[in-house]
Amino acid sequence: MADKELRKMNRTELIEIIYALQQNERTLREENERLQAQLAEKVLRIEKSGSIAEAALSLNRIFEDAEQAAQQYLTSIREANGSAEQILEDARREADAILAQAKAKPQEESPAQRSETAPVPLPSEGGAQSVS
């Protein structure tokens, strides 16, 4: 409104205009507060989503580290089982060799060795006569 129009208005009309402007200002302030609250809420959501994304990445890293540790553990167990199986196989071969040697020894003894270990007849068995 132009100054000339305002000057021509009476007091009641001016008060009504002032009152309408105050109502409009109040409405605009309320809308401004509501919009600021929505903005703050959206900012908070964005921050939380960033935090959630960071937490998800952190969890992914934790799971990757746990999986790698499990793989290392399984590898070490497999290696230990492999070396234990090798030791067992070596022990079996050695035992077989010892058994083969033990079986071959009695056959390898010479007749002289057998006579040394042969039982000696006792005098009462007829080898010598007793004097009575």
DSSP for 44-82, please give it.
Answer: HHHHHHHHHHHHHHHHHHHHHHHHHHHHHHHHHHHHHHH
Q: Is the pTM of this model over 0.85?
A: no
Mean pLDDT of the chain: 81
What six digits make up the tokens of 121? Answer: 């007849």
CA distances from residue 18 to 6, 23, 32 in whole angstroms, order as listed: 11, 9, 21
pLDDT of residue 114: 56
Average of pLDDT values for 18-24? 95
129 dihedral zone (left: phi>0; alpha: psi -120 to 50; beta): beta
Q: Is residue 36 scored above 90 in pLDDT?
A: yes
Assigned token pair, 61 = 């890293």
Q: Note the pLDDT tens digit of each residue in 65-78.
A: 889 999 998 888 88
Q: What percent of the chain has pLDDT over 70?
A: 79
